[in-house]
Amino acid sequence: MTRQTNEDLVREYAAASAAHDIERLAALRHPDWIVVWPQSGERVHSTEAFAEIIANYPGGAPKAEITRIVGAEDQWVVTAANTAMRVAGSGDFWWSEWRLTYPDSAVYLVVDLLELRDGLVHHETVYWASPFDAPAWRAPWVDRS
């Protein structure tokens, strides 16, 4: 399947991630794919290792809800010779927000930073954070969702 845009790739990748579709993820990942988890200091260097993590997650894999995908689509310019040329790097950096619910009912908000190369996901950096109650002292200056 030929993807027409990097946005298509990222949306397809997010859907495969949410579904824990390891086969589809492998097809969308660059051969040198890596994911980095800075909070725990871990790096996963292969889809096979990632699949084992998902398969062996205590209580089962978390349920994922994609809440937002953001990036700049590829940009093109026309040169003086009337040739279309891609502006380097403009569409290769994306991020997505997630809401994960773990088997123990813990909820985490997640940000996944994606770097693309050769039309595939090359590098990911993922951060997790627990939601928390806003402090009462800020109430006069904020809206609560």
Could you give the domains of the chain?
6-130 (3.10.450.50)
| 93: β partners | 115
Residues in contact with 107: Cβ distance below 8 Å, sequence separation at least 6, in sequence order: 99, 100, 101, 130, 131
Cα–Cα dist 9/30, whole Å: 12
- The 10s digit of each residue's pLDDT in 32-73 is 999 999 999 999 999 999 999 999 999 999 999 999 998 876
Per DSSP, the three-state class of 106 is coil
Predicted confidence band at 134 (pLDDT cuts at 50, 70, 90)? very high
Work out the percent of the chain whose per-residue pLDDT is above 90: 72
74/97: higher pLDDT? 97
Question: What's the distance, CA 123 to chain centroid?
Answer: 10
